[in-house]
Amino acid sequence: MRKIHVIGIGAGDPEQLTLQAVGALRSTDVFFFLDKGEVKSDLTGLRRDMLEAHLPEGTYRVVEARDPERDRSAGGAAYAGAVEDWRGARAGIYERLIAEELGEDETGAFLVWGDPALYDSTLGILEEVLDRGTVAFEYDVVPGISSVSALAARHRTGLNRVARPVQITTGRRLAEGFPEDVDDVVVMLDAQQAFLRYADQDVDIYWGACIGTADEILVSGPIAEAAPRIERLRAEARERKGWIMDTYLLRRNPKDR
């Protein structure tokens, strides 16, 4: 039976690779790298560095494939359809990789940024491949340090206040409104700087870009003061690198609800 590890590799700092993840790397014959356009060289390079740091040369293979682009123009009702189509296309690629590039008795691995449980589709896609029934395999999941954990650690803060909830959401959702009944909100996948909408409210922001990498930028404080700084630093970093990954915690003063 083919085996697959889905390995969380941390949010960018190679030292966030856990001992369990290193153990899983060592038991892998074939690594599948799916590249994503502009972030390709940086992220693929980082993954290669991790393998070289922990595995003897010549003991593993790397197979690269192109991740299909999602139709990002689709909004409203078409959005779910676009995501569905994209998942289907990715499942086809994973299915082919596993069937053609992994021997019957071999172990393959997908290295997932951060933790596979958070805004990552690898597990859903593997289930879809299994449902198709064309190739059989077993898989396990190795948790990783998510960008959310890394953000909280770098700002030396907790995510929730005492006995209070915290919600993790996307920039797209935050742009629609601050979640009801929750005052601590972690935002990921925000291409539109949705936090700007709350710049006149009694909210603190803990923001981090490229956390754990040499390009890391951290800003925190009352949002009215921090937001213009974040806007500027974000634009500069995007200009310099061509892409940016940022995550932030918004902490609202309850009376502003």
Ligand X SMILES: C[S@@+](CC[C@H](N)C(=O)[O-])C[C@H]1O[C@@H](n2cnc3c(N)ncnc32)[C@H](O)[C@@H]1O
Among 113, 137, 139, 195, binds ligand X (CB under 6 A): 113
Our finding on whether 11 is near ligand X (CB under 6 A) is yes
- Encoded amino acid at 222, one letter: P
Q: Which is nearer to ligand X, 110 or 198 (CB)?
A: 110
- For residues 196 and 133, what is the distance between their CA atoms, to the nearest angstrom? 46
The count of other CB atoms within 10 Å of the CB of residue 97 is 20
Contact criterion met (CB below 8 Å) for 108 and 139: no
Our finding on whether 184 is near ligand X (CB under 6 A) is no
Our finding on whether 167 is near ligand X (CB under 6 A) is no
Q: Which is nearer to ligand X, 102 or 211 (CB)?
A: 211
Closest distance of CB 236 from ligand X, Å: 16
In this structure, are strands 2-8 and 61-66 parallel, antiparallel, or unpaired? unpaired
Q: Which stretch binds ligand X (CB under 6 A): 53-61, 95-103, 112-120, 128-136?
A: 112-120
Length reported for the chain: 257
Our finding on whether 188 is near ligand X (CB under 6 A) is yes
Contact criterion met (CB below 8 Å) for 177 and 169: no
Q: Which is nearer to ligand X, 2 or 33 (CB)?
A: 33
- For residues 135 and 23, what is the distance between their CA atoms, to the nearest angstrom? 25
Q: Is 2 helix (H, G, I), strand (E, B) or coil?
A: strand
Residues 201-230 that bind ligand X (CB under 6 A): 208-212
Our finding on whether 120 is near ligand X (CB under 6 A) is yes
Contact criterion met (CB below 8 Å) for 208 and 217: yes
Closest distance of CB 121 from ligand X, Å: 8
Residues lying near ligand X in the complex (CB under 6 A) = 11-12, 113-115, 118-120, 146-147, 188-189, 208-212, 245-247
